């Protein structure tokens, strides 16, 4: 039976009545017809028939007799709760004992009622069961909403490129298809993979990660599929492997483009059959896993070169996600930099809580070849060596970075403004999206240059403050991270929430 725990109780609740006596079923249906609210009652005369209906239909409440030939009511309760734990079940019997009541309640019954019973008592039990079901569904809905918000909150940034990915994450998460996340090293591929898992129905299951590029082929197979005792000289006991550990959850395979052809064959079989063989074993093991892969390579080029199987590529590449490098989402740099500053200042016990506007501008001008990971490392370095107070441009010291990387001018660092425009779209849509990208970039640059002061940024841009503020709201841009860059950015007139 489909899990309806997150649906609302229908206006006409469906009640399944289970009793081997036709007269009892007739009486309970008559009670329900007299109720003040409408009920749709379905009656069956055996536990077996009830279970069959429960496997294919949705019911809000089940009422079952305990003493029936064949499958007993207690057995039905246990099997029905396994199908849908949220469905309340009311147990009915003529021969009630404390032991019987204890058994059915242990098996998952919502309530226990002895017959003969009055119409009012019967309907009261139905109403209470529906109230409990409604409450459970509300709680489940709220929990899902909170988990969704938490998962998306981990993906920091409000650039158009990131917003586009965040918009599709919930839809991707609900799907069971395999995902490949493409992006340069340090762009946050694992973070997005975890967000997909956290937004999916598998959130209660494990999220298991494996860096495919960090292990040689023999160890990679062992890590992924495990081994049995005696598979090789050092195999003194069984090891289940990550495919087993990730059962009912998600398995994140980072650097998927680095695995050898022999492992690719076994991974392809695992994707197709949802089963595998541990090293040294003749038995196959089932594992219900969703695969999320990531790579910084062009797998199509790897196929041409003969280093990646085309059939595996199509099995994995059902849902591709492309993460932009940090240099193409510069408006997110103040948000990320302030997040890392707060995070590591608290961890290291340092009193560094903001960047000066000049420091923020320097961070935004740098090309970040190592992307978010490099930015995070740089903030950690700053926290180790910088004096307390605001972080200034002198503490950033790009000239000292490994490889002699130097800060570059913004004009040199930005990509072609037409990059990412889909010229297959209608003209008006493509133009509007390009305008939105310009507006968002202009707004973030203006805020950074004016220490987050909306009035000053609006004045220098030649726009009315109200119109400037509406643009910020339109693009969900918060001036606060930019304002932290300088305490001297004076007070602003009150207007909404900045």
Q: How far apart are CA 187 and CA 244, in angstroms?
A: 29
Neighbour order of strands in the sheet with 290-295: 207-211, 250-254, 290-295, 179-182, 319-322
Nearby residues of 182 by Cβ (< 8 Å), 6 or more positions away? 294, 295, 296, 320, 321, 322, 323
pLDDT score, position 150: 58
pLDDT score, position 29: 93
pLDDT score, position 296: 93
Q: How far apart are CA 69 and CA 352, in angstroms?
A: 74
* Domains along the chain with CATH numbers: 13-140 (3.40.50.2300), 154-324 (3.40.50.300), 328-483 (1.10.8.60)
CA-to-CA separations, 130 to 60, 143, 326, in angstroms, rounded: 7, 20, 51
pLDDT score, position 315: 94
pLDDT score, position 389: 78
pTM here is: 0.55
Task: Give the pLDDT of the chain (498 residues) as one tens digit per residue.
Answer: 444 333 334 458 899 999 999 999 999 999 999 888 889 999 999 999 999 888 878 899 999 998 899 998 888 998 888 888 888 999 998 766 666 667 778 788 888 888 888 998 899 999 999 988 888 777 765 665 555 555 556 778 888 888 888 888 889 998 889 999 999 999 989 989 999 998 888 888 888 999 998 888 878 988 899 888 887 777 777 788 899 889 889 999 999 999 999 999 999 999 999 998 888 888 888 889 999 999 999 999 999 999 999 999 999 999 999 999 999 999 999 999 998 898 888 887 888 778 888 889 999 989 999 999 999 999 988 887 777 778 888 888 764 443 333 333 333 333 455 555 667 667 777 777 777 777 888 888 888 878 788 888 888 887 778 888 888 888 888 888 776 544 333 334 333 333
Q: How far apart are CA 70 and CA 222, in angstroms?
A: 48
pLDDT score, position 419: 56
pLDDT score, position 147: 53
Nearby residues of 17 by Cβ (< 8 Å), 6 or more positions away? 25, 28, 29, 41, 42, 43, 44, 63, 64
pLDDT score, position 97: 62
Q: How far apart are CA 16 and CA 29, in angstroms?
A: 10
Write the burial class of residue 247 (CB in 10 Å: 0-12 exposed, 13-18 middle, 19+ buried): middle
pLDDT score, position 421: 62
pLDDT score, position 149: 54
Q: Secondary structure of 449-491 in the HEC alphabet?
A: HCCCCHHHHHHHHCCCHHHHHHHHHHCCCCCHHHHCCCCCCCC
pLDDT score, position 96: 60
């Amino acid at each position: 039976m489909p899990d309806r725990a997150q649906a609302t109780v229908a206006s006409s609740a469906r009640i399944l009545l289970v009793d081997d006596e036709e007269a009892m079923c007739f009486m309970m249906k008559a009670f329900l017809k007299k109720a003040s609210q409408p009920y749709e009652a379905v009656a069956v005369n055996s536990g077996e028939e009830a279970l069959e209906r429960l496997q294919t239909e949705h019911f809000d409440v089940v009422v079952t007799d305990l003493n029936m030939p064949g499958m007993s009511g207690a057995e039905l309760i246990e099997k029905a709760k396994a199908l849908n734990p949220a469905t309340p079940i009311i147990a009915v019997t003529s021969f009630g004992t404390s032991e019987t009541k204890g058994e059915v309640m242990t098996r998952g019954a919502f309530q226990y009622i002895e017959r003969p019973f009055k119409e009012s008592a019967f309907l009261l039990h139905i109403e209470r069961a529906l109230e409990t079901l409604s409450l459970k569904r509300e709680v489940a809905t709220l929990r899902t909403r909170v988990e969704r918000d938490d998962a998306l909150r981990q993906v920091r940034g409000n650039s158009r490129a990131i917003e586009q990915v965040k918009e599709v994450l919930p839809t991707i998460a609900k799907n069971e298809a395999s995902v490949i996340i493409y992006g340069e090293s340090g762009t946050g591929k694992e973070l997005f993979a975890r967000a997909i898992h956290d937004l999916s129905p598998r959130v209660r299951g494990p999220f298991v990660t494996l860096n495919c590029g960090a292990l040689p082929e023999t160890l990679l197979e062992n890590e992924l599929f495990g081994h049995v005792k005696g598979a090789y000289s050092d195999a003194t006991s069984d090891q289940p492997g990550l495919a087993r550990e990730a059962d009912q959850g998600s398995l994140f395979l980072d650097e998927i483009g680095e695995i050898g052809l022999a492992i690719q064959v076994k991974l392809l079989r695992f994707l197709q059959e949802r089963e595998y063989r541990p090293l040294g074993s003749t038995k196959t093991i089932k594992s219900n896993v969703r695969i999320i892969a990531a790579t910084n390579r062009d797998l199509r080029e790897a196929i041409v070169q003969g280093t990646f199987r085309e059939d595996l590529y199509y099995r994995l590449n059902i849902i591709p996600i492309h993460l932009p490098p940090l240099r193409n989402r510069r408006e997110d740099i103040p948000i990320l930099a302030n997040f890392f500053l707060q995070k590591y200042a608290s961890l290291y016990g340092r009193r560094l809580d903001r960047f000066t506007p000049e420091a923020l501008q320097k961070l935004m001008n740098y090309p970040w070849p190592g992307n978010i990971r490099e930015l995070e490392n740089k903030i950690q370095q700053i926290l180790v060596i910088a004096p307390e107070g605001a972080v200034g441009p002198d503490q950033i010291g790009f000239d000292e970075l490994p490889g002699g990387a130097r800060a570059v001018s913004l004009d040199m660092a930005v990509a072609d403004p037409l990059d990412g425009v889909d010229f297959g779209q209608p003209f008006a849509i493509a133009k509007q999206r390009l305008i939105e990208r310009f507006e968002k970039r202009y707004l973030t640059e203006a805020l950074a240059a004016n220490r987050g002061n909306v009035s000053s940024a609006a004045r220098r841009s030649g726009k009315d403050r109200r119109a400037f503020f509406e643009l910020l709201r339109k693009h969900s841009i918060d001036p606060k991270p930019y304002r932290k860059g300088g305490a001297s950015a004076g007070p602003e007139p009150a207007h909404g929430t900045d």
